[in-house]
Amino acid sequence: MKPTFNPDSSPFGSKDKVLLWKFNVKNIENLKINDVIFLKSPINPNQIYTKRIKGLQSDLIIPRYPDTRSKVLIPLNHIWVEGDNIHSIDSNTYGPVSTGMVIAKAVWIIWPLNRFGPVPSEGGRECRERILRYPNTVL
Amino acid sequence: MGIKVMFKDIRRIISLSIRTIAGLHLFTSSMFEISQTEGASMLPTVQSNGDFCIVDKRYKNGNKIEMGDIIVARKPTQPDSWVCKRITGMPGDIIIIDPSRGHIEKMREKFNNIISNDDDCEINKNDSIKENEFNSRFKEIKLNKNGFDRSPYDQFIVVPDGHVWVTGDNLSDSVDSRTYSVLPMGLIGGKIIIGMYLPNWMNFKGEYYRFLANTFHEV
């Protein structure tokens, strides 16, 4: 999530502090596209990842490296998450994630005061097939 | 004076109750919790109704979980409901998705045996009729250039890192990894260690509690 959180990469720079919304976030109804969420890592359950939601249930996703021209259909109550940074380990590696893994939603940047404000609602790439194919359609 | 004392009491009561609730919450979220089971998916081990289980929350997130443990976990396709299953595959294991669906070669063998034991059967005399008969009985098995298309049968999966394979003990009535594939360890809520069957408690007979042991042993 480099351009959104912790933009300066110096080792002495302070880490960002964000306000989290924890109520009812395991329900898919409360998760929207482009929400920044904290989720348990599917690879190591004691780690926590920060990712941006890029697809919800029943979306058809074009992964970042479609080596076999494959598309991914997100199952029921699953989401597709990607980092804003191109080098992030995200759903392109471990696939769709169940909403039960979501811990919290990041809503407000608190600490570096020059960036105090709501978490940017844009970042990363668009990967939903229907949006990429019909970009001008209002849905 | 009286009002001051009353306020002091109220403050003490509120403070005590908040501390008690917080302590209880800490206990049930990281130590032990009693939960009631529902459904027939673990039937021989855990009753389908009125069976109260003690969940050891120290095994949350799949910490130190082992093959054969009984766990409670959020259902991946429906995270607000909890399921109780037995672990039958750990990361790195190669799993046959559904053993109950059978094995193509074995099915073919069985079919051939039935046909050849039946002397009156006309199919027995002609190989091509035999082939046609087999294909019409098992329409879902199709041949492609790599041999059998094993799509409903003989499918294997490697359990990825941080995931487990879970199945119910009652395979015929259980929605488990055969349906929703591997379960991420982050959804595991704890391990069930003791089961208490409520009717036994009410009637003061039978065993009041039983340890749900790990029945797995390597062959």
Query: CATH number for the domain including B173?
Result: 2.10.109.10
What is the pLDDT, as a whole number, of residue B148? Answer: 60
Q: Average pLDDT of chain B?
A: 83
Instruction: Inspect the interface and report whether the beta carbons of B77 and A77 lie closer than 8 Å.
Output: yes
pLDDT bin (cut points 50, 70, 90) of residue B39 is: confident
B188 touches chain A (CB under 8 A): yes
In a domain? residue A7: no
Which residues 57-86 on chain A approach chain B with CB closer than 8 angstroms?
Answer: 75-78
User: What tens digit of pLDDT does each residue of B88-119 get?
Assistant: 999 999 988 877 666 666 777 777 777 777 66
Distance of CA B155 to the CA centre of its chain: 19
Q: Is B187's pLDDT higher than 90?
A: yes
Domain for residue B56, yes or no? yes
Is 70 exceeded by the pLDDT of residue B193? Answer: yes
The whole-angstrom separation of Cα A109 and Cα A15 is 11
pLDDT single digits (tens) B143-182? 665 666 565 567 788 999 999 999 998 888 888 898 888 9
Number of domains in chain A: 1
B124: in domain: yes
Flag whether B13 is in a domain. no
Contact B169, B43 (CB under 8 A): yes
Flag the least confident range among B26-40, B70-84, B123-137, B188-202. B123-137
Number of domains in chain B: 2
Residue A105 belongs to domain spanning: 18-133
- What is the pLDDT, as a whole number, of residue B144? 60
Q: Who among B62, B184, B188 is closest to A98 (CB)? A: B184
Q: What is the mean pLDDT of residues B114-127?
A: 65
Q: Which pTM value belongs to this model?
A: 0.80
> Does A88 reside within a domain?
yes
To test the contact with chain B by mutation, choose from A24, A72, A77 the residue with the greatest count of B C-beta atoms within 10 A, namely: A77
A44–B contact, CB cutoff 8 A: yes
Helical (H) or strand (E) element with B95 = strand B94-96
| Residues of B annotated as part of the active site | 41, 85
For residue B124, pLDDT beyond 70: no
Residue by residue, DSSP assigns B127-193 as HHHHHHHHHHH-TT-EEETTEEE-SSSS-EEEPPTTEEEEE-SSGGG--SHHHH--EEGGGEEEEEE
pLDDT of residue A134: 86
Q: Which helix (DSSP H) or strand (DSSP E) does residue B85 occupy?
A: strand B78-89
Q: Are strands A36-40 and A102-109 parallel, antiparallel or unpaired?
A: antiparallel
Check CB contact of B78 with chain A, cutoff 8 Å.
Answer: yes
Does any CB of chain A come closer than 8 Å to the CB of residue B207? no
Looking at the structure, do residues B205 and B103 belong to the same domain, yes or no? no
Query: What local confidence, expressed as pLDDT, does residue B3 receive?
Result: 81
- Stretch B138-146: mean pLDDT, rounded? 62
Q: How far away is chain B from the Cα of A115, in angstroms, using its nearest Cα? A: 32
List CB contacts (< 8 A) between A77 and chain B. 76-79
Domain that holds residue B111: 99-149
Residues 6+ apart with CB under 8 A from B106: none
Contact A43 B61 (CB under 8 A): no
User: Looking at the structure, do residues B72 and B104 belong to the same domain, yes or no?
Assistant: no
Confidence of residue B44 (pLDDT cuts 50, 70, 90): confident
Q: Are residues B165 and B108 in the same domain?
A: no
Query: Which of A25, A47, A98 is the best residue to mutate to test the B interface, defined by the most B CB atoms within 10 Å of its own CB?
Result: A98
What was the pLDDT predicted at B202?
78
Q: Which pLDDT band, with edges at 50, 70 and 90, does B120 fall under?
A: low
Q: What CATH number is given to the structural domain containing A30?
A: 2.10.109.10
Within 152-171 of B, beta carbons closer than 8 Å to A belong to: 160-163
Q: How confident is the model at residue B139 (pLDDT cuts 50, 70, 90)?
A: low
pLDDT at B74 over 80: yes
| pLDDT the model gives residue A16 | 86
Chain B environment of A45 (Cβ under 8 Å): 61-62, 162, 184-186, 188
Rounded to a whole number, what is the distance in Å from the CA of B120 to chain A's nearest CA? Answer: 51
pLDDT along chain A (139 residues), means of 10: 78 82 92 93 93 92 80 92 89 92 93 88 87 78
Tell me which chain A residues have a C-beta less than 8 angstroms from the C-beta of B185: 45
Alpha carbons A60 and A71: distance in angstroms, whole number: 7
Do B75 and B103 fall into the same domain?
no
The predicted structure's pLDDT at residue B100 = 67
Per-residue pLDDT at B188 exceeds 90 = yes
Residues 6+ positions from B72 with CB-CB distance below 8 Å: B35, B53, B55, B82, B83, B84, B188, B189, B190, B191, B192
- pLDDT value of position A64: 86
Say if CB A95 and CB A72 are below 8 A apart.
yes
